[in-house]
Amino acid sequence: MEVRRYMRTKDCAVYTTLSANTVRRYVHLRQIPHIKQGACILFDRLEIDKWMEARKVPAIETPRQRYSELIEVEG
């Protein structure tokens, strides 16, 4: 199956696991990268990947995780 670089709203919603309405709202608020081609809105898969990566929240290491890692290394 060929993976196309440009997606329409519904395809972008599936790709990002957002609802189509959320994607449309993000477009309206200019919070998601998109291309307006006449009445058609397109999303570049590469730009969407960058957008999602920029929104990533790093995990916080807890003292308990550090302690369990120390035990594994020593044991």
- Evaluate if pTM is beyond 0.85: no
Give the confidence band of 25 by pLDDT, cuts at 50, 70, 90. very high
Contact residues for 22 (Cβ-Cβ < 8 A; gap 6+): 13
**What's the mean pLDDT in 12-24?**
97
CATH 1.10.1660 for domain 6-74, yes or no, is yes
pLDDT at 71: 63
pLDDT at 67: 63
